[in-house]
Amino acid sequence: MAYIESFLLFLLVVIITFLVLVTPIVIIGWILSYVEFFNKRKFFQFLFLKKSKLIKDQTEPYFNISKIVKSNAIVFFTIVYITTVSVFYVKQSFNYYGKDRAYPQAKAYAIVGNSVFFIHSFLFSFSRINIHENNLDNKLMAFQDFILNRMYQYIPKDDAEREYWKYKFKYQSIITQRYVPVSKEDRESKYRFFRTEMGIAEYSPRLYPLMDEIQQISKALFYGNMKDIELNQGKRYLPIAHISYYLANNFINYTTLKRPEGDPYTVKGKLMFQDKTLYAKYLEYTNLLVALQEKIDTNSAVKKVFEKNPMHQAFLFASLLDGFDTILRYKVFSNIYPCNLKEAQQFLDYHRQINDWMENKGTSFQTLSRRGQKAAKFILGASGGRQSFFIIAKYICEIPIDYYNSWEKQALKDSNGRKDLLKRYAISGLFKDRFEYEKIILMKETHTKGEEK
């Protein structure tokens, strides 16, 4: 019964999508048929008539809706559409009904959910607006909820695969575009909504339950049991890396405290110091990411999955840098000297690992396209945001580091390679509006005097 119902639902999605896509073609063809420049062109006639033969002394309009519906353009589109849909269904079936896959009845509904997911993602990326504010999105999400409930009938409650599909069908498109659902009421209230270069929405009450939900999904995917062998071998961990970058950018708004002035990186440390509950959540999630990276480094199957998905590795690395950078800022605001902390060493260990990943040949970073590498470098904070403690460690803590990071390379380039200017350039450039590095210098002097005594 599940296979029949899921196939009928798939056909329903296919038919509705076809009608939505073909209607603009018919309308455009009908409108252009009244433009003399087009209706005299044989190619246009070939597209929008079944036969491209001219009719002399015609008493009716040469073009009409019924002719266009039966035209070569619509026939060609229909053939391409049916072929694409058939290939999609067959490919999905082979993928989900293999011997290593659990709960085949649930996977039958997953094929339907995937088709709606692609439509939803296309609308999300194409419109470049927060589609969570309109009725279309509500209907698509209601349909996805329906599909998930059907799948849950065949997946036990203690199986983490439930969370995998919840992420896939409800949150992946949101996280990819880094949007926060904000209602019309939120916009008209005291809460502000805006997009920055980081995709951050500020002070949206609807952010908090969303953040709680996706954190629970991450925990379930990492710690939970999963019967499906293919998912269990590594794919289950990809959503955690993807979610981590969204959380890293939005933790700054995950508090009811008023956001202080300053850049996002400095502000985050201040907020963590002011809101101890927020810091506890951030620390817990950072520790989860540390455990995930350890699994990647020690488990060959998981490592292979992340090598095939290098952008997810970039997301995870960026979130680790962000996590430890924020934790160290919190320590400084708590008047704790950061240079000798284990978190400082962990930050530098990950920084070196990231540097090797980007610079050495044979890594998954090298498999990315030029555009992909540029995006990965931006994610990893090549502009300086997530590099700040590296500069502190090297030039203030004076920890021996035998390589240059991207910020230093840019500084050397701009100062014509003069290393004597590097320290001043790097510190003034990176901390002009960021982080109270003078406070660390003062703490260092106090700490040094204490050691001398």
Find the helix packing angle between 300-308 and 276-298, rounded to 10°.
100
pLDDT of residue 60: 44
Tokens for 178? 């880094």
On the question of pLDDT at 430 being above 70, the answer is no
pLDDT score at 52: 41
Question: Does residue 159 sit in helix, strand or coil?
Answer: strand
Enter the DSSP assignment of 202.
-
DSSP state of 365: G
DSSP 259: P
Report d(CA 16, CA 156) in Å as an integer.
32
- Please report the pLDDT score of residue 414 as a whole number: 73
Mean pLDDT, rounded, for 403-416:
75
Q: By C-alpha distance, which of 198, 129, 223, 207 is closest to 171? A: 207
- d(CA 51, CA 411) in angstroms, rounded, equals 67
For the chain, helix (H) and strand (E) counts, in that order, are 23, 0
DSSP per-residue string spanning 415-428:
TTT-GGGHHHHHHH
C-alpha 29/C-alpha 63 separation (Å) is 9
Give the span between the Cα atoms of 63 and 69, in whole angstroms. 11
Q: How far apart are CA 109 and CA 12, in angstroms?
A: 13
Return the domain boundaries, the chain: 2-80
The answer to whether the beta carbons of residues 151 and 165 sit under 8 Å apart is: yes
- pLDDT of amino acid 57: 43
Residue 170: partners with Cβ closer than 8 Å, 6 or more residues away: 141, 144, 145, 148
Asked whether residue 90 carries a pLDDT value surpassing 80, the answer given is: yes
pLDDT of 302 above 80: yes
Banded pLDDT at 443 (limits 50, 70, 90)? confident
Nearest to 312 by CA among 390, 364, 371, 252: 364
